[in-house]
């Protein structure tokens, strides 16, 4: 009796997504650290520290930053090392934004 090979998705051989080298680079880490220690100016003139989630701040809460996110995704033509293309988000708002972007991609593929 022969036993079939079991697929193990946690092995590198069956990896789902390769790691993106950009987010592990020294340049990105330096830019992220500099961004978090700086401030942003809202359209109404208020100055907000980048160490808190911008979406939570607009709702009247102060939640520490979890992710420095690109406003316009790199794969959609956004600049990867431009501070003007970055925003600080908590994990909840980052997941919401990522899910919304994923749904847009799925909808655009259906329409084609």
Question: Computed over its alpha carbons, how large is the radius of gyration of the chain?
Answer: 19
Q: What token pair was written down for 41?
A: 């100016």
What is the tens place of the pLDDT at every residue in 17-46? Answer: 566 788 889 999 999 999 999 999 999 999
What is the tens place of the pLDDT at every residue in 68-106? Answer: 999 999 988 999 999 999 999 999 999 999 888 887 766
Predicted confidence (pLDDT) at residue 16 exceeds the cutoff of 80: no
In angstroms, the Cα distances linking 95 to 1, 73, 110 are 47, 14, 23
Hey, where are the domains in the chain?
A: 19-111
Task: Specify the pTM.
Answer: 0.74
Q: What token pair was written down for 20?
A: 């993106």
């Amino acid at each position: 009796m022969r036993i079939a090979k079991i697929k193990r998705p946690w092995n590198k051989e069956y990896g789902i997504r390769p790691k993106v080298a950009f987010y592990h680079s020294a340049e990105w880490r330096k830019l992220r650290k500099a961004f978090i220690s700086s401030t942003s100016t809202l359209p109404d003139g208020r100055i907000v520290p980048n160490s808190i989630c911008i979406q939570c701040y607009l709702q009247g809460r102060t939640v520490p930053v979890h992710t420095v996110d690109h406003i316009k995704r790199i794969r959609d033509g956004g600049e990867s090392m431009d501070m003007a293309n970055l925003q600080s988000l908590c994990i909840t708002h980052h997941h919401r934004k990522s899910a919304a972007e994923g749904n847009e991609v799925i909808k655009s593929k259906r329409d084609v």
